């Protein structure tokens, strides 16, 4: 065996910094991947919201598990209306008739909300409330203008001629009051349209490592 000479020592000294740099780079890469995985539900939610507002059905379909969403809507609406019927029976027996009508229309109501338009309503603070009118069509959320529509829009009048509506008359924007993981594979986003409205949640479930799909709702929060 060749004895260690003084010429070998500088090579070993140079090798230690290179190994430390490699470890740091590997740690940075792992951290970046984990950070991206953590952020994926927020990114998917933003893409889904934009696609739903633009009525981009192809993109919405990519991020929504419609069979799971339909099953969740049916279960949640059944629970919501059952509670409403029991409450109205005790207070005003005749008033429970509307809730009973809503129970009969759960199927059409689910059909309307398990669509790109219904998803847009859910993401804009307009959840189903079991009203008979919702069986005809979900509430119409605002649509995002396309590039062509934006370009064709007329120019705004001069500020001296503009007459904006008073701020107090403007409708309240829906508020996303919370978003959090519920386990590794489930992400819950809670909305509240205004102080008088009950909160509700949409639930995204992991679809592979880097994607999520809207799969359920929670309409029965108190």
Whether 135 maps to a domain, the answer reads: no
Identify the CA nearest to 181 among candidates 138, 212, 219, 220. 212
What is the arithmetic mean of pLDDT over 112-125? Answer: 91
Other beta carbons within 10 angstroms of residue 197's beta carbon come to 15
Residue located via tokens 């029976």: 89
Residue 97 zone, left/alpha/beta (φ > 0; ψ -120 to 50; rest): alpha
Residue 44 structural domain: 13-126+172-218
Check residue 114 and report its DSSP letter.
S
Whether 68 maps to a domain, the answer reads: yes
pLDDT of 89: 65
Whether 161 maps to a domain, the answer reads: no
Sheet holding 186-192, edge to edge: 175-181, 186-192, 200-206, 212-218
- Read off the pLDDT of residues 141-171 as tens digits, 9 standing for 90 and up: 666 655 445 444 444 444 444 444 444 444 4
* Overall domain count for the chain: 1
How distant, in Å, are the alpha carbons of 10, 35, 172, 181 from that of 163? 78, 46, 20, 44
Whether 136 maps to a domain, the answer reads: no
pLDDT over threshold 60, residue 97: yes
Whether 148 maps to a domain, the answer reads: no
Does residue 193 sit in helix, strand or coil? coil
Residue 47, classified by CB atoms within 10 Å of its CB into exposed (0-12), middle (13-18) or buried (19+), is middle
Beta bridge pairs of residue 64: 214
Whether 42 maps to a domain, the answer reads: yes
Whether 81 maps to a domain, the answer reads: yes
- Read off the pLDDT of residues 53-80 as tens digits, 9 standing for 90 and up: 999 999 999 999 999 999 999 999 888 8
- Read off the pLDDT of residues 176-221 as tens digits, 9 standing for 90 and up: 778 999 999 999 999 987 777 788 999 999 998 889 999 999 997 7
What is the arithmetic mean of pLDDT over 127-132? Answer: 78
Beta bridge pairs of residue 187: 181, 204
Written as six digits, the tokens of 186 are 């489930």
Whether 147 maps to a domain, the answer reads: no
Does residue 178 sit in helix, strand or coil? strand
Question: Any residues with CB less than 8 A from the CB of 107 and at least 6 apart, and which?
Answer: 74
Q: What percent of the chain has pLDDT over 90?
A: 42
pLDDT of 8: 54
């Amino acid at each position: 065996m060749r004895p260690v000479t003084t010429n070998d020592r500088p090579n070993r000294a140079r090798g230690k910094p290179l190994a430390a740099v490699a470890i740091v780079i590997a740690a940075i890469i792992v951290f970046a991947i984990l950070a991206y995985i953590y952020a994926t539900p927020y990114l998917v939610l933003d893409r889904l919201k934009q696609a739903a507002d633009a009525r981009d059905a192809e993109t919405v379909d990519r991020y929504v598990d419609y069979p799971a969403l339909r099953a969740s809507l049916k279960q949640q609406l059944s629970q919501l209306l059952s509670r409403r019927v029991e409450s109205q029976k005790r207070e005003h027996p005749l008033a429970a008739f509307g809730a009973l009508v809503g129970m009969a229309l759960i199927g059409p109501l689910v059909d309307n909300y398990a669509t790109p338009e219904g998803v847009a309503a859910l993401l804009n603070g307009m959840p189903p409330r079991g009203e008979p009118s919702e069986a005809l069509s979900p509430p119409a959320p605002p649509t995002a203008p396309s590039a062509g529509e934006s370009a064709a829009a007329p120019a705004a009048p001069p500020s001296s001629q503009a007459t904006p509506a008073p701020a107090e008359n403007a409708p309240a924007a829906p508020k996303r009051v919370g978003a959090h993981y519920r386990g590794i594979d489930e992400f819950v986003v809670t909305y509240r349209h205004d102080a008088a409205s009950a909160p509700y949640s949409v639930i995204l479930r992991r679809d592979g490592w880097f994607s999520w799909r809207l799969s359920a709702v929670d309409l029965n929060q108190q």
